[in-house]
Amino acid sequence: MSNDELAGLFARKILQGFHKHYAVFQEVTRNAKQRFAEGDWHAGQYAATVRISFYDQRVHETTTALRKLTDDKLDEQAWLATRQLYQEFLQFHPQAELAETFYNSVFCNLFHRRYFNNAYIFVETTLSNSIPLALETEFRSYFPVVQGMRRTLARIMGDVDFGADYDDLSEDIRLLRKAFRDQTEAGKLSAYQLRIDVLKEPFFRNKAAYVVGRIVSANRIFPFIVPVLRTPQGKLYLDALITNTDEMAIIFGFARSYFMVHTRAPSALVRFLKDLMPKKTLAELYSAIGLHKQSKTEFYRDFLHHLEASDDQLVAAAGIKGMVMTVFTLPSYPYVFKVIKDEFGGGKQMSRQTVIDRYRMVKRHDRAGRMADTYEFANVAIPLDRIAPDLLEELQTTVAGSLKIENGQLIISQLFVERRMVPLNIFLEYGTPAEIEKVMKDYGQAIKDMMAANIFPGDMLLKNFGLTRHKRVVFYDYDEVQYLTEMNFRTLPKAETYEQMIAPEPWYTVAPNDVFPEQLATFAVPQPELRDLLLKFHPELIDAKFWQQQQEHLRQGVITDVFPYPEAVRFMRCVRTASE
């Protein structure tokens, strides 16, 4: 078979694999509407979990098929031609950027990393010079000058297909109009002075749907999100109007599970979202809509560009050194890099695979706005001259089994990447009294939100939590994470004899999954003044019955409401019940 024939065979096999992946991905995504209309929240959680694995399954299938044709040998001329032909296939492809990433994944599974350059894979996208897909493919425009604001808003909400009827749309539109007037300068404009653009497809996650759009005036754009919830009787209602860009960023934040949103042109959808939330990176937005592999690609490209444009060195991350991970960062780049240690400190009795499994568990799970998303990379190459000497020494001491040096580069076999946050224990050293009180209240709420998502963080020390730029407390150390329902919460036995009272070790038996909530606050927050603040707002955290009740709710299938936006912006507080 000639090189051109081989190239045609390889390129079509890979593109067919991608098309199968995207079709399956979109099928489960489209079904989110039906799950929302029926209130089938458990099916939604299951779909969100299994959807994450679809990509790797299709890559494996495609790789296996090609391996039979290549016999693990790279025909350089054939694969150079394959890449060129594949690039031509994508010229007018509506998911071209995703198809590039799929190609990279298949090739990197087939061949040695020495071929991972732009001649063989898409290290740099080839789409930057292509005509971008029109944003209009993803949104509808409305003109209040024609029908007036009230009827326009009613039409907008009517055009978004949720698969269910509203409880009282007329009243909801009244509340929505009032909120627009109260919250935005756009509310003071006349109907002829604005246009409203709304994404055609709603965003689904957990127990909520979201309508996303913008008001366009002659001078500026006003972004907005309208959460739509479901009553216990199956009727819909508008719950709030979010126009604050920080609150919108939290809804699309890295500590939440991925949205289900049907899109034919992901690049157009992401560009629309980027216009609304300019501080969000492309990587964050692709991740938010469930395209986490594309998110990894965008992140890695951005990291490479940043390395080229900067000259600072990677250094050890601030904070107390962990017993399981060695953590480092690039001061000019807002992420931390984590490598599993060869040997664990502090008597940690777990395997390397257990740590990996727990990080992947959090990836698949509902993170409830309180657990940072993580990228997992293999065989990452970093120029040696960008690594500070003391960090390199620490890496060679603690994670040597994950390292290799080749041609002036440090190759890390497995690397986890998370958004950099201010470690909570460090913030509490310099925060104002008012800030400290607010943060300790949120720390307790973070624990409760994780409980609602069936997560027991295990090690709740302050150093394992961080503050985002929005001053939200987020957990980021997952080596001891377990499901809440797997734990055994016990009341601390009372000593009955003098010997028991003075015993240096517990005189009662303790099984591996036993937890005594009475001790949690003392262990996690040893500083009395901080512990008092925590218990001022969350005294139930040291009551075993509270934890047992949460377990019972989970076993009964109760999905607790966890709102990703402030209670104060809701239209009908405490009247209707349904949420994320």
Q: What distance in Å separates the CA atoms of residue 504 and residue 527, rounded to the nearest whole number?
A: 22
Residue 192, burial from CB neighbour count under 10 angstroms (0-12, 13-18, 19+): exposed
Where would I find the beta strands (DSSP E) of 330-440? 335-340, 375-383, 403-406, 409-419, 422-423
For the record, the structure tokens of 254 come out as 């890295």
Task: Confirm or deny that 235 is annotated as ligand binding.
Answer: no
Phi, psi of 123, deg, nearest 5? -60, -45
How far apart (Å, rounded) are the C-alpha atoms in residues 66 and 10?
A: 7
The helix (H) or strand (E) run that includes residue 211 is strand 208-217
DSSP code, position 521: H
> What span, in angstroms and rounded, lies between the C-alpha atoms of 550 and 484?
8
Residue found by looking up tokens 């973070």 in the block:
446
**Alpha carbon distance 7, 385 (integer Å):** 38
- In whole angstroms, give the CA distance from residue 517 to residue 37: 39
Residues 6+ apart with CB under 8 A from 492: 516, 518, 519
Residue pair 39/357 in contact (Cβ under 8 Å)? The answer is no
| 360 CB-side CA count, 13 A | 12
Report in angstroms the alpha-carbon separations of 25 from 35, 56, 125, 218, 289. 16, 12, 22, 39, 12
318 assigned binding-site residue: yes
The verdict on whether residue 381 carries a ligand-binding annotation is no
Angle 528-537/517-524 helices, nearest 10 degrees? Answer: 130
Question: Beta strands of 158-207 (E only): which ranges?
Answer: 194-199, 203-205
DSSP per residue, 296-326: HHHHHHHHHHHHHH----BEEPSSSPPSSEE
Q: How far apart are CA 62 and CA 70, in angstroms?
A: 12
Write the DSSP symbol of residue 515.
Answer: E
Q: Please check if 23 is assigned to a binding site.
A: no
511 has binding-site annotation? no
Torsion from C-alpha of 44, 50, 52, 55, nearest 10 degrees: -130
- How many CB atoms lie under 10 A from the CB of residue 293? 21
Is the distance from CB of 492 to CB of 518 less than 8 angstroms?
Answer: yes
Contact 172, 245 (CB under 8 A): no
Confirm or deny that 234 is annotated as ligand binding.
Answer: no
Q: Which tokens in the block code for residue 401?
A: 């089994």
H or E element: which one contains 552? helix 544-555
Other CB atoms within a 10 A radius of the CB of residue 206 amount to: 23
Alpha carbon of residue 209 to chain centroid:
17
Query: Can you tell me which residue has the tokens 């949690």?
Result: 520
Q: Which residues are catalytic?
A: 373
Q: Does 448 carry a binding-site annotation?
A: no
Residue 501 counted as an annotated binding residue: no
**Binding site membership for ATP: which residues?**
317-323, 338
Which residue ranges are tagged as binding site?
A: 317-323, 338
